Amino acid sequence: MVDVHYTPIIPLLPLVSFALFVLGASVRSWLGKGARLSDQVAYVSVALMGVSWLLALAVAFDVLVLRSGQPYYYAYPWLSVGSVLIRFGFMVDPMSAVMLIVVATVAFGVQWYSLGYIAGDEKQPRFFAYLSLFSSAMLALVVANTLLELFFAWEIMGLASYLLIGFWYEKPAAMRAAKKAFVVTRVGDTFFFIGMLWLVLQTGTTDFANLVLGTAHGGALSATGENAVITGGPYLKALMGTTTLGWIALLIYGGAVGKSAQFPLHVWLPDAMEGPTPVSALIHAATMVAAGVYLVARMYPIFDLAAPLTVLGITFRPLGLVALVGLGTALMAAYIAFSQSDIKRILAYSTISQLGFMFIGLGCGGTVVGENGVRTFLAIGFSAAMFHLMTHAFFKGLLFLGSGSVIHGTGTQDIWKMGGLWRHMRWTAITFLIGYAALAGVAPLAGFWSKDQILEAAWEYNRLIFWGALLGAGMTAFYMTRLWTVAFTGQWSGGEAAATGHQAVGGHGQHDHGHGGHGLPHESPRSMLIPLVALAGLAAVAGFVGLPKANRFGEMVKYVPPPGWLEPAGAVEEHALHLPTPLRMAQAPGGTVPDSPAVPHSSPAEGDSPRPYGAQQLAPEPLQGGALSFPTEEGLPAVGGEAHAGAAHTPAGHHEVDMGLVWRIGLLSTLAALLGILLGASGYRGRRFNFRAPGALTPMESAVYALSLNKFYLDEIYWAILVTPLFWVTRTARAVDQAIIDGLVNGAGLVTRGISVLSRLVDIWVVDGLVNFSGWICGRLGQGLRRLQTGQVQNYVLVVFIGVLLVIAALVPSR
Amino acid sequence: MDPLNAFLIVSAGLFSVGVFGVLTRRNAVAILMSIELMLNAANLNLIAFARFGDPTVLAGQVFAIFVLTVAAAEAAVGLAIVLCVYRNIRHINVDDLHILKW
């Protein structure tokens, strides 16, 4: 039986296929056969990804069902820097398990789809190599056990994203887009890295087991058999309620802003659509851009347990900022999507907007402090965001793959040059319709459920954000209806040939798979349709895991603040001194049984299980009773209601789902969606709205329209206030470099050279002169003195004799 | 006159004759003979001091015997050298034997 212990193999398999591609190409090139592998090797990549997908499903099933949410944790010591020990390993908690399912499924689908999409491209093997590298990194990211390991995967994903956006690097636009994506996300990554270093400085660990999982023995999760939930880990206790934690959270959030394309760093994502469409589906819609959401969710305790920050006299909680930025991003991107005509760009702005929604969800969860100092915990936001991440990955991946199929079949990306695709590309159209309805929030489809949960969270947190988000939902329905109506209904408008003559599809000649000018659009090959259908199925039903009355998803993936936290704000500091209680209490039952769930999995009792819903006003003494025991006796999944009646998420008693609220919000959001759909459908049927025609708009309206068409001029603004000054600084620096720095260096060189010439002369004449002179003197002396040596024995004897006489003469007078 | 002085005067004269011979003779054999004279002058001194000093101590006489022995050995070596020189350069004139220098 495949169980969680196969986790390390999941990211390894795509990495193996990447290595095979690289090695294979190297070997071929070494043998002199040219580095280009044959197209068939793509099947290796898809097959390995398929195995990886199956393993991911098995592991996720094991963690979520068999182990009832008990995390898998395996790590070994890797780096020891001073007192900081970093362990390398793997962790699969319920949230990771969900991400595994999402990432592996979409990655596998996209690889399969690419078999058809990229066929015939001269760089086909390279494409699969990059895709495998990306999949490996993303899978490694979700099973990482430390922030550092997550960061590695994060950066490898950035690299893979860069390589894939710039896959058609002979196109200048693709090249520029790749560069832009890399540089812009790097801005966020810098903040992330600083935040991580600060966190290590403060806590001495990056291990999730120590930071965010409430367990007794941070490291050895799988051996303790505990059901760990995301909460403040033991290493955070000293920092709880401090602004330091808030700043760290904001820095880490900076990384998420870059990766998940939040305002103001969202500008790279629309340009990233220059990459091949499967890449857009996998990386820039379903997985990588959601990694920022995952990061914030992973580090959620750091965001939640921080004290409010004050900047420029404005006090805010870090999560509030997250929500606000998310709302702004969601509305702005939806507004921009109104006027775009490139099908992929519309979807890209939709992605930005939906990522904004996820951040609204995250930001509207967590703890808020009332004016009486009582902390109130809003439970639903966290799981709503992760839920929306999952459903969005499915339907947005589907929509992108559908758009790829459309581009493949029509040879254009401009929706105005499409039209009537419903008749020509039936399968694509049906699946696209499902994705569109799911995104717009039509009732039983996935997007409806997750979006409603986010709206609920916003309702609990802040009515203004709620109404904003509701407006965003309506806008979403509108621009998607516009896209659908223009591209799929009506008459075929002739594609690229109609507008510009057949000029190889405006630089996207790669889509034009050699079949002359596009006549009528045609349906895509089966290898592309099968993933479409599969994802359409998921987009339709994925929402049912998080129904309001039976929120299996929310019970698995949730955040619970550590006990003691929800007391009046003033009391927390004392509490922070103790070890968070559940961490100690949790050892008691089942403690040392390795790899066995602490709680036998009771049969799930639908309907009446208490739910992590809504705001819970907490009494000031939450440490008594249920709060102590939540990690032990509360099986994470829906265990029978009585068993954990007082369990953690409702420490002060039951909180039933407010079904009235759920109904109201459901109705409101359906109303908003319907309004958007009706407006879009009536406006764009027969293409009545045509704001681009001269004279169609008054100057006032025209300005409003231009704002959307030109993406709020953000690219231009960045160019003006960031890039141009940067160029100026660079040029100035270059001039300074050449004139002053180089001058100094060269001057120093010249002086040195002059000095050494002098030194050489001194050496030759003075030093060598002295040495030679002393030698010469000795020589001359020797020449003179050797005359004394005659070789005549009698001379010597005579000298001796005279010497003796002299000695005697010297001695005689002294007598 | 003290009989010892007479001995010493004869010995000094003999020594002077030897020194003179060593310094002035050109023939190597003659130089060797002059050296013998000097040794015998020394022997005469030793025996004189032995005789006129403490007659019971025979150190002087014994020393003279040793000197004679050494002189005989020295003469043998010296004559051998002279013979070798002669065989090489067909004469034994010490004025021309000055190659033992720089």
Q: What value of ipTM does the predicted structure carry? A: 0.85
pLDDT at A556: 82
Nearest CA distance, B80 vs chain A (angstrom): 17
* Predicted pLDDT at B31: 92
Q: Which residues contact A371 (CB under 8 A, 6 or more apart)?
A: none
User: Contact at 8 Å (CB) between A435 and A398?
Assistant: yes
Contact B94/A792, CB-based, under 8 Å?
yes
Q: Indicate the Cα dihedral angle A684, A686, A690, A695, nearest 10°.
A: -140
What's the pLDDT score for residue A619?
A: 33
Q: How far is CA A169 from CA A275, A312, A506, A525, in A?
A: 9, 44, 15, 26
| A319 pLDDT above the threshold of 70 | yes
Please confirm whether the linkage preceding A521 is cis (ω < 30° from 0).
no
Average pLDDT, chain A: 80
CA distance A41 to A226: 44
At A326, the amino acid letter reads G
pLDDT tens digits, residue range A262-310? 988 989 999 999 889 899 888 888 889 999 999 999 999 888 888 888 8
Considering only alpha carbons, which residue of chain A is nearest residue B98?
A: A791
The confidence score (pLDDT) of residue B102 equals 65
- Position A13 scores a pLDDT of 93
Query: What pLDDT, on the 0 to 100 scale, is given for residue A660?
Result: 84
pLDDT at A498: 52
At the top level of CATH, the class of B3-96 is mainly alpha
Q: Residue A623 is encoded by which pair of tokens?
A: 């440490």
Across the range A727-744, mean pLDDT stands at 91
**Interatomic CA distance for residues A233 and A209, integer angstroms:** 7
A650 band by pLDDT with thresholds 50, 70 and 90: very low
Counts for chain A of helices (H) and strands (E), in that order: 33, 7
CA distance B53 to chain A (A): 23
Kindly report the backbone phi and psi dihedral angles of residue A513, in degrees, each rounded to the nearest multiple of 5, phi listed first.
Answer: -80, 55
Interface of A with B (CB under 8 A): 786, 789-794, 797-798, 801
Q: Do A793 and B95 touch (CB under 8 A)?
A: no
Any residues with CB less than 8 A from the CB of A532 and at least 6 apart, and which? A113, A398, A401, A402, A405, A427, A428, A431
In three-state secondary structure terms, A313 is coil
Q: Which of A84-88, A415-419, A469-473, B92-96 has the highest mean pLDDT?
A: A469-473
When pLDDT is cut at 50, 70 and 90, the band that residue A813 belongs to is confident
Residue A625 to residue A652: CA distance in whole angstroms: 9
Interface test with B, best of A792, A795, A797, A802 (most B CBs within 10 A): A792
Answer whether A786 sits within 8 Å of B102, measured CB to CB. yes
Q: How would residue A35 be classed by pLDDT, with cut points 50, 70 and 90?
A: low
pLDDT of the residue at A333 = 92
pLDDT digits (tens, 9 = 90+) for A213-256: 765 444 444 444 455 677 777 778 788 888 888 999 999 999 99
The reported pLDDT for the residue numbered A366 is: 84
Q: Specify the pLDDT at position A432.
A: 92
Contact list in B for residue A794 (CB cut-off 8 A) is 22-23, 31, 94
Of the two residues A522 and B28, the one the predictor is more confident about is B28
Pairing of strands A72-81, A309-311: unpaired
Q: Which residue has the higher pLDDT, A619 or A160?
A: A160
* Option in A789, A794, A798 nearest B94 (CB): A794
| A568 or A378, higher pLDDT | A378
Cβ distance A794 to B98 less than 8 Å, yes or no, reads no
Average pLDDT over residues B69-79: 93
For residue B22, give the chain A residue with the closest CA: A794
- In chain A, which residues have their Cβ closer than 8 Å to the Cβ of B17? none
Structure tokens at A748: 């120093």
pLDDT(A579) > 90: no
Rounded distance, CA A318 to CA A307, Å?
8
pLDDT at position A418 is 85
Contact A797 B22 (CB under 8 A): yes
At A518-543, the pLDDT tens digits run: 577 888 888 888 889 999 998 888 88
Beta bridge partners of A376: A368
Of A147, A261, A131, give the one whose Cα is nearest residue A198: A147
Q: What is the mean pLDDT of residues A71-82?
A: 83
CA A565 to chain centre: 29
Query: CB pairs below 8 Å between A and B: how many?
Result: 26
The reported pLDDT for the residue numbered A815 is: 57
What local confidence, expressed as pLDDT, does residue A163 receive?
A: 93
For residue A235, give the DSSP letter. G
State which H helix or E strand residue A72 sits in: strand A72-81
Q: In what order do the strands lie in the sheet with A366-369?
A: A366-369, A375-378, A615-616
Contact (CB, 8 A) for A181 and A268: yes
Beta-bridge partners for A92: A72
User: Would strands A72-81 and A84-92 be described as parallel, antiparallel, or unpaired?
Assistant: antiparallel
Poorest-confidence range of A96-110, A350-364, A627-641?
A627-641
Return contacts of A128-131, CB within 8 angstroms, 24+ apart: A128/A17, A128/A21, A128/A41, A128/A42, A128/A45, A128/A46, A129/A17, A129/A18, A129/A21, A129/A22, A129/A45, A130/A160, A130/A163, A130/A164, A130/A167, A131/A45, A131/A107, A131/A164, A131/A278, A131/A279, A131/A282
Kindly determine whether residue B100 and residue A801, on different chains, have CB atoms separated by under 8 Å. no
Residue A590 has pLDDT above 80, yes or no: no
Domain ranges, ordered by start, for chain B: 3-96
The confidence score (pLDDT) of residue B65 equals: 94
Q: For residue A188, what pLDDT band results from cuts at 50, 70 and 90?
A: very high
Interface test with A, best of B15, B95, B98 (most A CBs within 10 A): B98
Residue found by looking up tokens 């109506």 in the block:
A485
Mean pLDDT of A14-29: 89
Amino acid code (one letter) for B58:
L
Please determine, for residue A442, whether its predicted confidence score (pLDDT) is greater than 80: yes
CB contact under 8 A, A794 and B19: no
Secondary structure element (H or E) that encloses residue A615, with its range: strand A615-616
What is the average pLDDT across A151-166? 93
Can you give the pLDDT at residue A436? Answer: 92
The pLDDT of residue A570: 52
Q: How many residues does chain A have?
A: 815
Percent of residues, chain B, with pLDDT higher than 90? 63
Cα(A789)–Cα(A786) distance, integer angstroms:
6
Q: How far apart are CA A111 and CA A127, in angstroms?
A: 10
Interatomic CA distance for residues A111 and A91, integer angstroms: 26
Please state, in angstroms and rounded to a whole number, the distance separating the CA atoms of residues A146 and A728. 41
Burial status of residue A477 (CB atoms within 10 A of its CB: 0-12, 13-18, 19 or more): buried
User: Can you read off the two tokens belonging to residue A110?
Assistant: 């996209």
* C-alpha span between A123 and A787 (Å, rounded): 94
Look at residue A755 in the predicted model and tell me its pLDDT.
95
In the block, which residue shows the tokens 């003075």? A766
Counting Cβ atoms within 10 Å, is residue A777 exposed (0-12), middle (13-18) or buried (19+)? exposed
Cβ separation of B94 and A801 shorter than 8 Å? no
Contact A793 B102 (CB under 8 A): no
**Which residues in chain B are contacts of A792 at CB distance < 8 A?**
94-95, 97-98
Cα separation of A737 and A731, whole Å? 9
The yes-or-no verdict on residue A14 having pLDDT over 90 is yes
- A798 and B23 within 8 Å at the Cβ level: the answer is yes
Question: What would the 3-class secondary structure string for A638-680 be?
Answer: CCCHHHHCCCCCCCCCCCCCCHHHHHHHHHHHHHHHHHHHHHH
Q: Which amino acid is at A725?
A: P
DSSP 8-state assignment for residue A557: S
